[in-house]
Amino acid sequence: MLREFFFAGSRLDIIFAWAGIVVIIGQSVFSAYIKFAINGWYTSFYDLLQTSGAMLCSNVTALVDEAEEAKLTESRQKVWLGLVEFLRIVGPYAIFSPAARWLRSHWALRWRMCLMRSYMAGWDPNVAPVEGASQRLHEDTRMFSKGIETYLSVFLNSFCTLFAFTPILMDLGTKIAPPAWPSFAWLHAFGHGWMFASAALAAAVGLGVAMLAGSKLVGLEVANQRVEAELRRDLVILEACSERITLGTLVQTSNSFDKVFASLSVISENWGGINEWRSTLVRLRQLEGGARLERCRPHTPTLAHPHSRQFEEGQRLSATASSSRAAVSSGSGTPISDGQEAGEGMPMLPFGSSLASDRG
């Protein structure tokens, strides 16, 4: 697959193959340089914004003289110059990147065409074809060339970025101390490279988990492509004998299957909302359990606080009752004890006599 494009193709294809490699490497190196330059620009520009903001806030609350106004104007000019510097950094890449992407896509297309011409030249109609041969000629060559173009660029870009930013991260490790938590004490063993070590360890763990979980995916994808090829073959045969099924029956079958599948999938499609409702149900049950326990618990009267409103109302009623007892005892000559009510020990009058005396 490499020989057909880089060595056995036409002279134009060979030139384009090696030129495409140069373009991909150049784009990766240039992209890493742009990232490195933008990272350095971040430091100077945001430090400038910090000092300019502090200066502006101090000038708002104080009288501004000519010297302070000149400093503020100079700071604004530096901010605008920083923005112009950013445009100068990213401007060339904004022009170069679309052209490089077009060349990479054309490079992948030429590789695919070389593979297809090579396979078609070796095609023997007298030999039983390989299962799914048409798919392998059309889809697999496209996916192969596209994968080479994409992942070669990604890996080279990552390598160049790592080469450019590792020294920066190591230098920042001298300024930033590792976490002092006991669980991160092992980071101190790496010294100034503790941030690089933590990033490398996290990436290695992620790669290991991905490789372990996806170890069977290659075989599954091959089997999936084989099943898809068989399905396409059956669809072609079905299209050749299309008189066995009418268009109305086909549409009715498709619609019925869609409705049944949608009805069966209603729980999975609304699983998020169902879980939220279930959590609400759990909370309400907890609330009901707490209220039930509160009702079953024996009620014990609580004394009012000396400064509460209920305590003051009780004191007022007690004082009123005491004054009533004193008045009655002074009128009848018989003192009333504190344990008696206001009407105890007094002669009972008929119901009508009291009303009559009141009316008289």
Which residue type, as a one-letter code, is found at position 114? Answer: C
Higher pLDDT, 296 or 263: 263
Asked whether residue 247 carries a pLDDT value surpassing 90, the answer given is no
Work out the angle at residue 232's Cα, subtended by the Cα atoms of residues 224 and 240, and round it to the nearest 5 degrees: 165
The pLDDT of residue 310: 59
Confidence of residue 302 (pLDDT cuts 50, 70, 90): low
* Backbone φ, ψ for residue 160 (5° rounding): -65, -40
pLDDT (average), residues 253-273: 88
The pLDDT of residue 329: 54
pLDDT (average), residues 21-45: 90
Please give the Cα distance from 33 to 97 (Å, whole number). Answer: 13
Burial class (CB in 10 A: 0-12, 13-18, 19+), 72: middle
Structural contact between residues 172 and 198, judged by C-beta atoms closer than 8 angstroms: no
Which residue type, as a one-letter code, is found at position 81? Answer: L
Share of the chain above pLDDT 90, in %: 8
Asked whether residue 61 carries a pLDDT value surpassing 80, the answer given is no
pLDDT digits 0-9 by tens, 318-352:
677 666 666 555 554 444 444 444 444 444 444 44
Show the DSSP H helices in 265-335 as ranges.
266-269, 271-296, 309-332
Asked whether residue 63 carries a pLDDT value surpassing 60, the answer given is no
Of 14-18, 61-65, 256-260, the one with minimum mean pLDDT is: 61-65
Half-sphere exposure (CA, 13 Å, Cβ side) for 109?
Answer: 6
pLDDT (average), residues 175-193: 80
Higher pLDDT, 129 or 282: 282
Structural contact between residues 140 and 224, judged by C-beta atoms closer than 8 angstroms: no
User: Which token pair is 7?
Assistant: 């060595």
The pLDDT of residue 344: 44
Q: Which residues contact 169 (CB under 8 A, 6 or more apart)?
A: 193, 195, 196, 199
The pLDDT of residue 219: 87
pLDDT digits 0-9 by tens, 157-174:
889 988 888 888 888 888
Please give the Cα distance from 216 to 182 (Å, whole number). Answer: 39
User: Which token pair is 105?
Assistant: 């896509």
Please give the Cα distance from 176 to 195 (Å, whole number). Answer: 9
| Domain spans, the chain | 3-121+132-175, 216-259
- pTM of this prediction? 0.57
Asked whether residue 288 carries a pLDDT value surpassing 90, the answer given is no
Please give the Cα distance from 161 to 30 (Å, whole number). Answer: 10
* Backbone φ, ψ for residue 289 (5° rounding): -65, -40
pLDDT digits 0-9 by tens, 105-146:
889 888 888 888 888 887 777 776 676 677 777 778 888 888
Please give the Cα distance from 27 to 103 (Å, whole number). Answer: 11
The pLDDT of residue 356: 41
Name the residue with tokens 């002669």. Answer: 347
